[in-house]
Amino acid sequence: MLEDLKVHDRLRVFFRRLRHRGYSSEALLPIFQKAVDNAKKYLRTSPESRLAAKRAKAEESKRRVFLHLPYHPNDPPSSTVQRLWCEHMLHPIGLTPLNHVENDCNERIPID
């Protein structure tokens, strides 16, 4: 019960700080509600289910590629970068898709 009050107080302080930085209540409330719902759902799951989900996420992360670019205001939007990545790297026309390319051990690169 005491821990619930601490969490509630911290959320209230965080919400207030965001409001002071210019975010509207209308924009913040749905995000906070979704976060609270997600936290409650997580707390209702068993430790075994949590561990299984954590392992599944870890396995999925092995199959991801992250492209980090320094920010520049004149850069194209991320959707354009993602589209170009798919067209030219992941599924190039007339060439082997990236997830079918083999490494030096003749094993496919595990990218979805």
83 contacts 67 by C-beta, under 8 angstroms: no
- How far apart CA 10 and CA 24 sit, in angstroms, is 18
Model confidence pLDDT, tens digit, residues 61-85: 877 777 788 888 888 888 998 899 8
Return the structure tokens found at 42.
């997580």
Rounded to two decimals, what is the model's pTM? 0.51
Model confidence pLDDT, tens digit, residues 12-63: 999 999 999 999 999 999 999 999 999 999 999 999 999 999 999 888 887 7
Q: Which residue has the tokens 């989900």?
A: 53
62 contacts 110 by C-beta, under 8 angstroms: yes
| pLDDT the model gives residue 68 | 81
| pLDDT the model gives residue 44 | 93
Q: In which band, very low, low, confident or very high, does the pLDDT at 9 lie, cut at 50, 70 and 90?
A: very high
